[in-house]
Structure 1
Amino acid sequence: MNSEELFYTLALQHVPNLGDASAKKLIRKFGKAENIFKEKKSSLLKISGVGQVRIRELFDTQHLKAAEKELKFIEAQNINCHFYQNEDYPERLKHCLDGPVLLFSRGKIQIKNRKLLSVVGTRQITNHGTSFCEKLIEELAPLDPVIISGFAYGVDITAQKAAIKHGLQTIGCLAHGLNQIYPKIHKKYMQPIEENGGFFTDFWSSDKFDRNNFLKRNRVIAGLSEATIVIESAEKGGALVTADIAQSYDREVFAVPGRASDKFSSGCNNLIKSQKAHVLTSAADLVYILNWKLSEAPKAVQKQLFVELDNEEQQLYDFLKVQGKTELDLVALNCSLPTFKTASLLLNMELKGVVRPLPGKLFEVI
């Protein structure tokens, strides 16, 4: 897609209330976005489902000005743009009526002819949820799937860190433009994820951060993959919305069952009870339902007993093993290391699976 085509497609995407489905309908009718802006209003009004209000909005020159500004940002930041009719656009997302006309990415994403799985759930993941999620990714590792999630607290980042630990590609779907990051505390994971996959979004750099964006983002998470896995969820939550969207796309949904008394199992139990999701107790359930080749079934993976640590990482590990949960600043002080370097070392150790962060900037060995 050349700059001129991208410019007019951006302008079309900027039209409020038009929506991706209507934008695609106009592109199909007139061939490309540029032709739409040069077409007579009378011809546009003949397209069913578009309406006078949307057509009137289309000819507001602010969309062209906004597109010019966003195009400069895209080119300056070397952001990849994926048009829904092009070969580099995610194949499964092409089949979603409301899939983004334009999708933006950063990183080293390679998903053609790959197994794609979305893993979602509560931001308040429990110890049980963490253990199950990490074990599931470990069991799936021999199948080399791409793990997709929302880069949020809880289940999302747990799944993505586990993917990196086991050498799997992982993709974070963002609810904002590529000029910012949320939550900010996850900034430390950006580089590892970009080196092992990357980020997708259909939001612009000029889009204001809004919690309603998460609902729009969820359709990308659900649309990219062949199955969505809900690890833990309360009775209401964004993960359940993602599961509903996945089901509407005729994709498989899996949910991890839990005790009736557990708050963050109620959403999963309800999905299973209402037959909106398959029961997921291990990777074998997923392999069977998705009809993956038995020859590709997960093999038992022996837990790595000895992780290679450098001298400074070993020093931090030995200290935490003796002291238990300790604040970052105290770890740095007792190990005679700068705080910034300690934070970097702990991140590497976290990705190696030997320490884990806790609320309040605490760390402990696993």
Structure 2
Amino acid sequence: MTKFEALISLNMVGEIGSIRLSRLLKYFGNPENVLKDSSEKLMAVSGIGEKIAQQITSFKREDLDRELALAKKLGLKIITQDDAGYPENLKNIYDPPIVLYVKGELKTEDKLSMAIVGSRRASYYGLSSAEKFAYELSEKGFTIVSGMARGIDTYAHRGALKAGGRTIAIMGSGFNHIYPPENKKLAEETAKNGAVISEFPCDAKPLPQNFPQRNRVISGLSLGVLVVEAARNSGALITADFALEQGRDVFSLPGKVDSKTSFGTNGLIKQGAKLVSCAEDILEEFNLSLNTKNAKIEPEKESITRHDLAGEELLLYNLIPQDPLQLDDLVEKVDINISRVSQILLNLQLKKLIREIPGKQFVRS
């Protein structure tokens, strides 16, 4: 077994983690020796109990072969810290992943990267802000890093993709279990315009304990972390904590004082995070400036739609404001039954003129 294969094998031991694995490598000298030694010797290493020791000694070659075959089938590249392509930003944190599964391509330009994170149950203010910040930072050459979760993460990735920029998604599961499942298409688009990364074996499920571990990679890949919207106990605050430990800048978007989804972000500002109201605030920290041509996302769309729409489509489009509107409120404004309204809204979404956001709300794209 090669060193590369041994590292992948050890990474497949469920509870070992990067810190324990680093201790084992330091104690035994190389990963091949870790797999060869006895349970008694393994348990001499801090943090290695009987359960983990037995998992290591009972590891089978066929499990590795199955993993390598699955990675190949899924189109993944597996890299370790020995590889030149291992991200430099990530390599310098306290506990970098021993193994990374990558779909897409990591580039040296990704060193200029910004993480954008926040609540899964975000408001329209949070979602639109995440997309706008991602778009404008991407236009200035930043790679946008996030966790591909519902809410803020999804809109951060979309903003970068809209700008034609690069984005990196960090998963809390293996590639055989893309999570959330509705983001499979987003994962494909991200891989074509950046990379999707996981430190977990291909068949690892999205277990709750995986996500804090994932968050340290999000911050570790980035020069800074922007928390757009976060409740008091949001996982995004864990990412901010990791960022501080790793010596990264932490930025926070202020929100309403009575908004539960802004308790976390407002709290970060109290604790010293840099308050931002626009992308320019972040760019100034890196001695960059925002080009005026990047100030809007697809600014010509409205003038085009006036000529492309007619009848009921134009009527409904004109009733949908920049702020979100509930489906029921829209139906009350027109003399059209709800099934027909739903069909027209679908047509407008297919034309990419409007989009649906959580809570059966619609807003212009």
State the TM-score, normalized to the length of structure 1: 0.81
Equivalent AA in structure 1 for residue 284 of structure 2: Y
Q: Secondary structure at the match of 1:253?
A: strand
CA distance in 1, matches of 2:17, 2:257: 40
State the partner residue of 1:210: 207
Q: Cα deviation per residue 1:24-82 (whole Å; 9 max; x = unaligned)?
A: 23334545322322346676566x52545377325432354432321221122221112
Q: Cα deviation per residue 1:143-170 (whole Å; 9 max; x = unaligned)?
A: 2101111111111111111111111111
Q: Secondary structure at the match of 2:71?
A: helix
Whether the aligned pair in 1 keeps the contact of 2:10 and 2:56 (CA below 8 Å) is no
Q: 1:101 to 1:358 in 2, by over 3 A?
A: same
Task: Give 1:161's match in structure 2, choosing from 158, 174, 177.
Answer: 158
What's the offset of the Cα at 1:255?
0.9
Stretches of structure 2 lacking an aligned partner (at least 5 in a row): 321-326, 332-337
CA distance in 2, matches of 1:5, 1:309: 59
CA distance in 1, matches of 2:162, 2:102: 22
CA distance in 1, matches of 2:58, 2:210: 25
Whether the aligned pair in 1 keeps the contact of 2:114 and 2:225 (CA below 8 Å) is yes
Matched, 1:192 2:189: yes
What's the offset of the Cα at 1:309?
11
Equivalences for residues 298-309 of structure 1 within 5 A: 298-300=290-292, 301-303=294-296, 304-307=298-301
Matched, 1:176 2:173: yes
CA distance in 2, matches of 1:333, 1:131: 25
State the partner residue of 1:20: 18
Q: CA RMSD in A?
A: 3.3
Task: Give 1:115's match in structure 2, choosing from 112, 116, 124.
Answer: 112
Whether the aligned pair in 2 keeps the contact of 1:148 and 1:173 (CA below 8 Å) is yes
Q: 1:193 to 1:18 in 2, by over 3 A?
A: closer
Q: 1:322 to 1:112 in 2, by over 3 A?
A: closer
Q: Secondary structure at the match of 2:115?
A: strand
Matched, 1:147 2:141: no
CA distance in 2, matches of 1:212, 1:329: 42
CA distance in 2, matches of 1:193, 1:252: 25
CA distance in 2, matches of 1:43, 1:184: 42
State the partner residue of 2:280: 284
What's the offset of the Cα at 1:314?
4.8
Matched, 1:235 2:217: no
State the partner residue of 2:125: 128
Q: 1:314 to 1:284 in 2, by over 3 A?
A: same
Residue-pair matches, total: 346
Equivalent AA in structure 1 for residue 123 of structure 2: T
CA distance in 2, matches of 1:153, 1:45: 40
Task: Give 2:6's match in structure 1, choosing from 5, 8, 16.
Answer: 8
Q: Cα deviation per residue 1:186-226 (whole Å; 9 max; x = unaligned)?
A: 23323322221121111223223322222221111111111
Q: 1:364 to 1:105 in 2, by over 3 A?
A: same
Equivalences for residues 325-336 of structure 1 within 5 A: 330=340
Q: Cα deviation per residue 1:274-295 (whole Å; 9 max; x = unaligned)?
A: 22x2212222322333xx23xx
What's the offset of the Cα at 1:139?
3.3
State the TM-score, normalized to the length of structure 2: 0.82
Stretches of structure 1 lacking an aligned partner (at least 5 in a row): none
Q: Secondary structure at the match of 1:133?
A: helix
State the partner residue of 1:32: 30
Q: 1:54 to 1:334 in 2, by over 3 A?
A: closer
Question: Alignment identity in percent?
Answer: 29
